[in-house]
Amino acid sequence: MNPPILAPSLLASDHAALGEGAARVAALGIPWLHLDIMDGHFVPNLSFGPETLAALRRRGSALFFDTHLMLSEPHRYVGAFAKAGADRITIHVEPAINHVATFAAIRGHGCRVGLALNPGTPAEAVEPFLAEVDLVLVMTVQPGFGGQAFREDTLPKIAQVDAWRRERGLDLRIEVDGGIDLATAALCRARGADTFVAGTSFFRAPDQAAFAARFAAL
């Protein structure tokens, strides 16, 4: 099993001080930062765009930008986010787009590729694409708003993706996002997850360093 990675979600930080939130993650020695990009169409919320990533890079952030595009037309924005500093670009399986062509475009910009699926989408929707991606993101809440309760009905889906990964000898990570804290992360880890997006639980933790250390021990 891959070693665990914690990816704090900047969406849960103070939006008037996003740079400080990212700097806090870096100061704790956490290498990844999760960036939730929402368009108000695919999900019922808006977040931020490429300029936010570019501004963080201009401030000197060297974090791995784990960029999650919750967009109806993600293929239209791959270049902009890659140019702004994304390291991985994750798109959703649900939009009716040419996913393989979009994966190729992401790789063509020098980024790693992720594929996400919502709680109501069966694991079988991503199965044909597993050899094409570096990461599968299993949403453990309906995306759109932070602070939601973890959905335990997504656990079998994590286990199924992990089974396919092991059966086929695939080198990909399984990420979970939504209601992730130490307890729910342990449930996901037991099913094969190795990458954990923590927003509210991280940024509201009284001791963020201890929180990160406990994740590293999962």
Which pLDDT tens digit goes with each residue over 114-130?
Answer: 999 999 999 999 999 99
For 5-216, which CATH class? Answer: alpha beta
DSSP character at residue 40: S
φ, ψ for residue 98 (rounded to 5)?
-85, 95
Residue 59 has pLDDT above 90, yes or no: yes
Q: Catalytic: which of 36, 134, 162, 194?
A: 36
Over residues 132-184, the pLDDT tens digits come to 999 999 999 988 777 779 999 999 999 999 999 999 999 999 999 999 999 99
pLDDT score recorded for residue 178: 95
Judge contact between 34 and 68, C-beta under 8 A: yes
pLDDT score recorded for residue 77: 98
177: annotated active-site residue:
yes
44 CB-contact burial (10 Å; exposed 0-12 / middle 13-18 / buried 19+): exposed
Which residue ranges make up each domain of the chain? 5-216
- CA-based max dimension of the chain: 46
Q: Catalytic: which of 134, 162, 177, 194?
A: 177
Judge contact between 68 and 116, C-beta under 8 A: yes
pLDDT score recorded for residue 161: 98
pLDDT score recorded for residue 127: 98
pTM higher than 0.95 for the full model?
yes
